[in-house]
Amino acid sequence: MLEKNVTLSFKGCVQGALMCVPVFPGVIALGAVFGTVAAQKGLTFVETILMNSIVFAGASQFVAMEVYADPLNWATLIAMVGVTAAVNMRMLLIGASLRPWLGQVPGYQTYPALFLLTDLNWLLTVARYDKGDRDWGIYLGSGLIVWAVWSLSVIPGYFAGSLITDSKAFGLDVVLPAFFVALLVPLWKGKRQTVSWLVAGLVAWATWALVGGYWSIFTGAIAGALAGAYLDE
């Protein structure tokens, strides 16, 4: 099943990078919002840049910032890493889906490149693979450009966000949950999602009421995934 004619070219990298241009506004807006959230939570500029560029996984960064509290203790630190793992669990699947394409490429090239894996460049790349493209520069170029834009976009958000004193009056506190809801809408396909989301919601609600904190993200996610797994087609 492994592809034999896999190539890597500079032209492919440029193509991959150009394919990402239409989504730049979305990436920049989200990165800027992260900068604003980080500033509001009291992170220093360097801390913000480091987290944004090294972790490079938008949704999990936001959820980790929801958990974050200053001063940071070990329990909170472990919770931040835990929610990051839970939110990014889907990367197991999207990474697995790249195996048939990149399986013949040497590991010293693919494993560093997997650092750049995001839903965004994965979706764009797989669409090209379906059309018969086998130049994995498309993946590499799109990953690099999204990383660069994401890394820079946090800067204006960090400083502009600091100027806004009352985030609630500007509705900034609903930006993040609203983005999640917007991502949720296209995921709905039918009964499977309805049941899975109801189970996730009920378990999350119960956990939130009984334990509080952020454990509801874990318990709800696991319950919803199990419901999805055990529902018949």
Number of residues that bind another protein (CB under 8 A): 102
- Contacts with another protein in 108-127 (CB under 8 A)? 110-111, 114-115, 117
Query: Can residue 106 be called a binding residue for another protein (CB under 8 A)?
Result: no
Query: Can residue 164 be called a binding residue for another protein (CB under 8 A)?
Result: no
Q: Six-digit token pair at 197?
A: 């989301």
User: For another protein, which residue of 14, 120, 126, 172 counts as binding (CB under 8 A)?
Assistant: 172
The CA distance from 224 to 200, in Å, is: 4
Shortest spacing between CB 224 and another protein, in angstroms: 2
Strand pairing partners for 7? 135
User: For another protein, which residue of 34, 56, 129, 136 counts as binding (CB under 8 A)?
Assistant: 56
Q: CB under 8 Å, gap of 24 or more: what pairs does 188-193 form? A: 191/231, 192/228, 192/231, 193/228
Is the peptide bond prior to 106 cis by the omega test (within 30 degrees of 0)?
A: no
User: For another protein, which residue of 19, 20, 37, 43 counts as binding (CB under 8 A)?
Assistant: 43
Query: Can residue 196 be called a binding residue for another protein (CB under 8 A)?
Result: yes
Query: Can residue 163 be called a binding residue for another protein (CB under 8 A)?
Result: no
Longest dimension (CA), the chain: 57
Query: Can residue 182 be called a binding residue for another protein (CB under 8 A)?
Result: yes
Query: Can residue 220 be called a binding residue for another protein (CB under 8 A)?
Result: yes
Q: Residue 104 is inside which H or E element, if any?
A: none
Shortest spacing between CB 130 and another protein, in angstroms: 18
At residue 131's C-alpha, the angle toward residues 183 and 113, to 5°, is: 65
Q: Six-digit token pair at 167?
A: 């985030």
Query: Can residue 44 be called a binding residue for another protein (CB under 8 A)?
Result: yes
